[in-house]
């Protein structure tokens, strides 16, 4: 039912009217966008109220950055653009980090911000929250649009949706000036101006010659390796990907957020033999994974001296040859590409070379065996492995739960230790290694999937979005947050070499984050051993009550920057 109002034009005549507020709402609903993440204020407070009245779910956050991260991951999980709604200038800027993050990570998202009066902004006359938001947003997203006339709202939203989800997905900015909302137009003309986007992300079929070239290279491999990225997880063609990987027989690696696309415990998984397969493989097929810093750009020490041929499957043609030569580029959407590859393999595809497979499997099994005793550690205060050993069992027993993870040691070690069993269940810091996604991701994951969420958070990482625990309690979401509290960033033991202030990486010692949760009516627990931790998480997951567990970790247990300390620049001067 479209929104209308009646207005008497002249005695005896009545005209059905609509306005900008209602056209925005009708356009969103027409395109199946039923959930909005945002923070209210001028000029969008009433818009939020009217959205609620019209049956759209509006989740109101404490800071726009967290609402933005929520929208970004909603886009990843649903393949529909996640929408974040903010006020002008400062609210817009707070949401912008998440929009840039969505673009970098290829998540479809639309940031809709109210903005101030164009006439005053453009003459720089000092309007309330004055800023040329469109210009600021442009370099940080895939596309940016502004709507000035109510009659263009339908087209504006249609363009934003298409830009966000088609081709390589990303962030889109939609600028809605305050005056637009009150603009009135004839209701029938308004209804006609709306656009339902048909086939928003059209299939992109790969060229048959590209598919053949890729299969020829793969077939000739002596030491093949398949790397699955989060683009492969995003595609939601899990069965086809599994069939392709299994038919190839090749060892596979899954990038952080692709973990679980195939179970990490799969016979072909080389997750625990990563350094061996990267060094020794002779043919590497990338599926929805980019050769960026996370894969050491496809060259250097990590990749060893053995010559390599890369096959890459990606929807973005410009991705090819971005770091090293790609001998067999396959451009298209992952679903179409993987189906074409599978078909092209036919019925007599040879098994992967047995000596390579057994070498990789042996290395993997040795490494898994080496780690096993560490995961049994019952030390108190806990070390990372002891605490993660307990959480690993919980995910094994509850494979449908969604795991959100951020921190340095807390991230890198959890990624290695906790096996994932189902696709799109692991949500983490992504391409930038950004801190602050934790609570926004947890909220959106719970809202979009209805599944329980376990957020494993470094104490520093948690601080970036911690106030949203009030939001979690307000909406009564099934989120259990475990804070790995080691008194600081990387470690809680640093000392200031030059004065009496605390070192830059340490926090108040012995903090009790669990008490924060109690302030909002949630469950707060202090856990000092893996057994206590396991009991508390299981209780939270069973009850579905918002819970925060302060897991006390040995402040000396972590290492600088987790697993990526090598990226820190070094001073040429000796340390005093
Ligand atoms: C937005 C942002 N700011 C700063 C950083 C730098 N940084 C990387 S990890 C980290 C926090 C690590 O500490 P914690 O979350 O407590 O994890 P721990 O290693 O102690 O387990 C910070 C601040 C970042 N990645 N992103
Ligand atoms: Mg810490």
pLDDT tens-place string over residues 240-292: 999 999 999 999 999 999 999 999 999 999 999 999 999 999 999 999 999 99
Q: Whose CA is nearest to atom 6 of ligand 1?
A: 435
- pLDDT score at 306: 86
Q: How far is the CA of 464 from the centre of ligand 1 (A)?
A: 9
pLDDT at 7 > cutoff 80: no
Tell me if 465 CB under 6 Å of ligand 1.
Answer: no
- Strands 13-19, 5-10: pairing is antiparallel
Q: How far is the CA of 384 from the centre of ligand 1 (A)?
A: 16
Q: Whose CA is nearest to atom 5 of ligand 1?
A: 435
Tell me if 66 CB under 6 Å of ligand 1.
Answer: no
pLDDT at 158 > cutoff 80: yes
The pLDDT tens digits for 302-344 are: 999 989 999 999 999 999 999 999 999 999 999 999 999 999 9
User: Does residue 378 or residue 66 have the better pLDDT?
Assistant: 66
* For residues 468-482, average pLDDT: 99
Q: Which ligand is nearest to the CA of 560?
A: 1
Question: Cα torsion for 515, 518, 520, 523, to the nearest 10°?
Answer: 120
For residue 529, give both structure tokens: 């051993």
Phi, psi at 457, each rounded to 5°: -125, 130
Neighbours of ion ligand 2 (CB under 5 A): 458-459, 486
- pLDDT score at 522: 98
Tell me if 490 CB under 6 Å of ligand 1.
Answer: yes
Q: Whose CA is nearest to atom 8 of ligand 1?
A: 408
> Any alpha helices (H) in 138-207, and if so which ranges?
153-165, 178-182, 187-193
Q: How is 476-509 classified by DSSP, letter by letter?
A: T--EEEEEEESSBSS-S----SSSSSPPTTB--T
Tell me if 65 CB under 6 Å of ligand 1.
Answer: no
Mutate-to-test residue for ligand 1 from 463, 490, 508, highest number of ligand atoms within 8 A of CB = 490
Tell me if 388 CB under 6 Å of ligand 1.
Answer: no
For residue 174, give both structure tokens: 């939609």
Tell me if 530 CB under 6 Å of ligand 1.
Answer: no
Q: Whose CA is nearest to atom 20 of ligand 1?
A: 490
Cα 201 to Cα 332: distance, rounded to the nearest angstrom? 12
Q: How far is the CA of 428 from the centre of ligand 1 (A)?
A: 13
Radius of gyration over alpha carbons of the chain, in Å? 26
């Amino acid at each position: 039912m479209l929104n209308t109002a009646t207005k008497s034009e002249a005695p005896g005549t009545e005209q059905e009217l609509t306005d900008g507020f209602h056209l925005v709402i009708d356009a969103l609903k027409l395109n199946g966008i039923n959930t909005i993440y945002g923070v209210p204020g001028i000029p969008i407070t009433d818009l939020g109220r009217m959205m609620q009245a019209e049956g759209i779910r509006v989740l109101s956050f404490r800071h726009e950055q967290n609402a933005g991260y929520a929208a970004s991951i909603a886009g990843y999980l649903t393949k529909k653009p996640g929408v974040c709604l903010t006020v002008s200038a400062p609210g817009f800027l707070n949401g912008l980090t998440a929009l840039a993050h969505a673009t970098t990570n290829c998540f479809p998202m639309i940031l809709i911000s109210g903005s101030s009066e164009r006439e005053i902004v453009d003459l720089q006359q000092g309007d309330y929250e004055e800023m040329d938001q469109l210009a600021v947003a442009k370099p940080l997203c895939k596309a940016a649009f502004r709507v000035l006339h109510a009659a263009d709202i339908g087209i504006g939203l249609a363009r934003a949706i298409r830009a966000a989800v088609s081709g390589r997905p990303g962030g889109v900015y939609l600028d809605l000036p305050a005056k637009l909302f009150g603009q009135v137009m004839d209701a029938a003309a308004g209804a006609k101006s709306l656009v339902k986007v048909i086939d928003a992300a059209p299939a992109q079929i790969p060229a048959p010659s590209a598919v053949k070239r890729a299969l020829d290279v793969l077939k000739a491999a002596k030491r093949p390796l398949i790397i699955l990225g989060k683009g492969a997880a995003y595609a939601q063609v899990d069965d086809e990907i599994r069939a392709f990987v299994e038919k190839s027989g090749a060892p596979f690696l899954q990038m952080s957020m692709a973990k679980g696309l195939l179970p990490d415990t799969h016979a072909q998984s080389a997750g625990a033999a990563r350094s061996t397969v990267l060094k020794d493989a002779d043919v590497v097929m990338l599926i929805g994974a980019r050769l960026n810093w996370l894969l050491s750009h496809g060259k250097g020490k990590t990749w060893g001296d053995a010559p390599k041929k890369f096959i890459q499957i990606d929807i973005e043609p410009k991705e090819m040859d971005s770091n090293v030569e790609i001998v067999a580029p396959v451009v298209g959407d992952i679903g179409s590409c993987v189906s074409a590859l599978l078909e092209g393999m036919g019925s007599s595809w040879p098994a992967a070379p047995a000596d390579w497979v057994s070498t990789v499997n042996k290395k993997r099994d040795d490494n898994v065996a080496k780690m096993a005793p560490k995961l049994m550690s019952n030390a108190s205060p806990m070390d990372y492995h002891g605490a993660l050993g307990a959480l690993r069992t919980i995910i094994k027993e509850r494979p449908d739960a969604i795991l959100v993870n951020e921190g340095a040691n807390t991230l890198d070690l959890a990624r290695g230790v906790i096996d994932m069993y189902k696709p799109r269940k692991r949500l983490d810091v992504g391409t930038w290694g950004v801190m602050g996604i934790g609570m926004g991701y947890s909220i959106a994951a719970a809202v979009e999937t209805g599944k329980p969420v376990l957020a494993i958070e470094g104490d520093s990482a948690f601080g970036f979005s911690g106030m949203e625990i009030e939001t979690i309690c307000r909406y009564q979401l099934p989120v259990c947050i475990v804070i790995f509290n080691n008194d600081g960033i990387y470690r809680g033991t640093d000392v200031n070499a030059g004065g009496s202030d605390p070192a830059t990486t340490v926090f108040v010692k012995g903090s009790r984050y669990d008490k924060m949760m109690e302030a909002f009516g949630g469950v707060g627990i202090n856990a000092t051993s893996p057994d206590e931790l396991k009991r508390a998480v299981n209780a939270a997951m069973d009850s579905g009550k918002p819970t925060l567990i302060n897991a006390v970790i040995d402040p000396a247990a972590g290492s600088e920057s987790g697993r990526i300390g090598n990226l820190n620049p070094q001073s040429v001067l000796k340390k005093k």
